[in-house]
Amino acid sequence: MAAKVFLHIGLPKTGTTYLQTVMWADRERMRAQGVLLPGRERRDHLWSTRIIREDPNLPTYDERVRESWGVLKQEIAAWPGTALISHEFFAGAAPEQAARMVAELAPAEVHLVVTAREPVGLYAGGWQESLKNRDSRTMAEFAAAEVSESSMSVWNWRTLDLRLVLERWGPTVPAQRVHVLPLPPPGSPRTLLWQRFAGLVGLDPDSFDLSATFPNESMGVAEAETLRRINDHLKDEDFERPFDRGVYIRTFLADERLATREGEKYWPTDDILAECRRRAGDAVAHVEAAGYDVIGDLGDLLVPETLEPRRAVDSVTEAEVAEVATAVAGRMLHDVRRIRTERNELRQLLEEERSKPVPGLREALATRFPWTRRLVTRS
């Protein structure tokens, strides 16, 4: 059994994808340094969050999803060193679910790792993530929603408020085993978060190749508003599955077509900014009172008194939405033409293969399976 398990539970939008990409690109190096990243694939950690959070749809999922948490536990049980589990959706777990997960990792010494961020950027990023998942609420409507009671709910203050997450997860282990890693402020070396994280879990940060990582770019204010309106037309069953939303809305449309426009950055409304400042202060006070281990500067979790000039989230005009929508429609027409051209070329190649005389097929079969040559080439 692993002597120690680091459980990285998020928060969402705090560099989690960056850290996970580094680790999954070089998990054999991690093993060589005594740290196990368990699982058959990266999604085993995502799928395990569904089991821990008791997803009501779990019985409808593929067996590979349903057995993921068992796979992680089995590998950890067979590993003599340190193990690491990482996914930001664990942050949504209810207190009893969090306690059960930690108990199921016994007798390993479990450490909680919580990457955190000042709430303004965190909340703006959370709203964008909700848009990538087909939400069509404005940021004001998004902010007005009550904190969800559902452990399956991710993109709201349930997982974005550090204090609320720590109140549910903190009691599961001694305070000295809760490690809070504030994101370094803008302008810091991009590798600093990885260096702190790797050092905590027992890895040599300088021995890893960081070239596989990529910035998780945000949409500009007009692009985000355009996606919000497009989502009203995507409410049918075609985009009901998380896979389809991830491939077509998140990746194809938001990340590859809208975020790449490098639109104008924005701030939330004044009311949301005030709430972010209040929640940040409460979170810092909670961490200090609990005596958790802080790796970095706790002050980086506070919202600065003065913010650089940016657009207001509710300032987008109809003309701006029209400009973004028409530009994206034009680009997608090029996409359709390219896809159809490739499809027609493949269809032509297939027809050419089908029209070849049988001897050609026989020769291909004999080449692929040499032991059949005497049989299939017999005239």
CB 204 within 8 Å of CB 33: yes
Amino acid of residue 178: V
Q: pLDDT digit string (tens) for 264-321?
A: 999 999 999 999 999 999 999 999 999 999 999 999 999 998 899 999 999 999 999 9
The mean per-residue pLDDT over the stretch 190-210 comes to 96
Q: Are residues 81 and 148 in the same domain?
A: yes
Q: What angle do CA 105, 109, 110 make, to 5 degrees?
A: 65
The mean per-residue pLDDT over the stretch 115-121 comes to 94
Domain of 189, CATH number, reads 3.40.50.300
Question: Which of 143, 142, 147 has the alpha carbon at shortest distance from 131?
Answer: 142
Q: Is residue 123 part of a domain?
A: yes
Q: 312 has which bridge partners?
A: 267
**Two tokens at 367?**
């080449």
Identify the domain containing residue 144 by its residue range.
Answer: 4-216+269-310
Burial label, 290 (beta-carbon count in 10 A; 0-12, 13-18, 19+): middle
Question: Which of 224, 227, 235 has the alpha carbon at shortest distance from 264?
Answer: 224
pLDDT band at 362 (very low <50, low <70, confident <90, very high): low
The reported pLDDT for the residue numbered 357 is 61
Q: Are residues 154 and 202 in the same domain?
A: yes
Burial label, 211 (beta-carbon count in 10 A; 0-12, 13-18, 19+): exposed
The mean per-residue pLDDT over the stretch 208-228 comes to 88
pLDDT band at 371 (very low <50, low <70, confident <90, very high): low
The percent of residues above 70 in pLDDT, for the chain, comes to 92
Q: pLDDT digit string (tens) for 160-181?
A: 999 999 999 999 999 999 999 9
Which has the higher per-residue pLDDT, 125 or 52? 52
The reported pLDDT for the residue numbered 360 is 65
Question: Which of 359, 164, 139 has the alpha carbon at shortest distance from 270?
Answer: 139
Q: Are residues 18 and 94 in the same domain?
A: yes
Residue 208: CB atoms within 10 Å: 21
Q: Which run of H or of E encompasses 104?
A: helix 95-104
DSSP sequence for 166-184:
HHHHGGGS-GGGEEEEEPP
The reported pLDDT for the residue numbered 207 is 97
Q: Are residues 26 and 102 in the same domain?
A: yes
* pLDDT higher than 70, residue 375: no
Structural domains counted in the chain? 2
Q: pLDDT digit string (tens) for 240-253?
A: 988 899 999 999 99
The mean per-residue pLDDT over the stretch 236-242 comes to 90
Q: Are residues 141 and 189 in the same domain?
A: yes
